[in-house]
Amino acid sequence: MSEIPDNLKYTEEHEWIKVSDGEARYGITDHAQDELGDIVYVELPEVGEEISKGDMLGVIESVKTVSDLYAPLSGTVKDVNVELEVGPEMMNEDPYGDGWIVVIEIADEDELDELLDPEEYEETFE
């Protein structure tokens, strides 16, 4: 079973969100990186970009496939992990730490209610 930290929120698309002070740090889960295989490239959004929940945020390319990343929440891109441009494998090595993708300033906190808690996320594997 993949690692599922209990201090995060999740999407059914195997992404995690860590909420703190009106901001959401976002990345892919351990399960997602395992399914993708070796990640070789990531395309990131621009800092300052306004996004709506469901908008395409970027692209992850692995040895197996190319996957689009979609915004889990509406808001403004506050920060992007530029380290991923030279070291995309960090998403494989440390998906919940150094492998984070973006930080979003949350526009509508009500959207957080639509995310899964760890128990609900674990049930998506059953």
Q: Which two tokens stand for residue 86?
A: 């030279």
Domain limits at 23?
9-123
Which CATH number characterizes residue 76's domain? 2.40.50.100
The pLDDT of residue 1 is 62
Task: Report the distance separating Cα 57 and Cα 10, nearest Å.
Answer: 16
Report whether pLDDT(5) > 90. Answer: yes
Instruction: Report pLDDT digits (tens) over 15-53.
Output: 999 999 999 999 999 999 999 999 999 999 999 999 999
Q: Report the run of H or E that residue 10 belongs to, with start and end.
A: strand 9-10
- Please tell me the total count of domains within the chain: 1
Task: Report the distance separating Cα 98 and Cα 29, nearest Å.
Answer: 12
Q: Report the run of H or E that residue 56 belongs to, with start and end.
A: strand 56-62
Residue 1 inside a domain? The answer is no
